[in-house]
Amino acid sequence: MTHQIEWLIPDHLLNVIISGEISGDDIIRITDDSIEAIEHSAAPLVHSILQVSGVTKLPTLAEIAQVMKEIKPRPRSGWTIMVMTANPIVRWAADFTMQLSGVRYRRADNMGDALRQMRHLVEALDWSQLPEEYRTLQQSE
């Protein structure tokens, strides 16, 4: 499993890219890294896009439920949009996980769709700070 966390809009919009086989420990590690970024932000709310299209294997639902008991909702977590495949089992597992986490959550089929949804949900962000490659993506997909 690999993951990368970057700011798309500094202090306001995180991009979390996850690929490979994910374990329960990986979910905790990714969450901890995301929380660290949120805590270093001066913004009252931090929104996230999770790109999980490259995930090849998930933990069992029982493992997910156990891990999610340990993860508490964060008051500064804003909207989360998850970019994922059309696989109905993966979508169901993602929906289950996000419901357990207590975050405001939506799904997207691709990054362009995720950015358009996020822009609609959080119009007040300074979208001019979005890197050029993402601005183009947002308009083209």
Tens of pLDDT, residue by residue over 29-86, are 999 999 999 999 999 999 999 999 888 888 888 888 888 878 777 889 999 999 987 7
Query: pTM for this one?
Result: 0.88
Angle in degrees, CA 36, 42, 44, rounded to 5? 95
Tens of pLDDT, residue by residue over 120-133, are 999 999 999 999 98
Tens of pLDDT, residue by residue over 16-31, are 999 999 999 999 999 9
| Structure token pair of residue 125 | 């962000």
Tens of pLDDT, residue by residue over 5-15, are 999 999 999 99
Contact 54, 18 (CB under 8 A): yes
Domain boundaries along the sequence of the chain: 2-140
Question: Domain 2-140 adopts which CATH fold?
Answer: Transcription Regulator spoIIAA (3.30.750)
